[in-house]
Amino acid sequence: MTPGRIIFLNGTSSSGKSSIARELLDILDDGVFSHLSVDAFNSMRARRELSAPEFDAALRRTRLGFHRSVAAMAEVGNDLVVDHVLSEPWQLADCLAVLRPEDVLFVGVHCPLPEMERRERARGDREAGLAALQYDLVHAHGDYDLECDTGTASPRACAERIRDFLPHRPTPTAFSRLRARYSIEGTPGCEAGPH
Among the residues of the chain, which ranges form H helices?
17-27, 38-43, 52-75, 89-98, 113-123, 130-134, 155-165, 174-181
- What does residue 180 show for φ and ψ, rounded to 5 degrees? -70, -25
- At residue 152's C-alpha, the angle toward residues 146 and 154, to 5°, is 80
Any catalytic annotation for residue 39?
A: yes
Neighbours of 190 (CB within 10 A): 15
Residue type, 107: V
Q: How far apart are CA 26 and CA 5, in angstroms?
A: 17
Q: Which of 29, 30, 39, 94 is catalytic?
A: 39
Among all residues, which ones are annotated catalytic?
Answer: 39
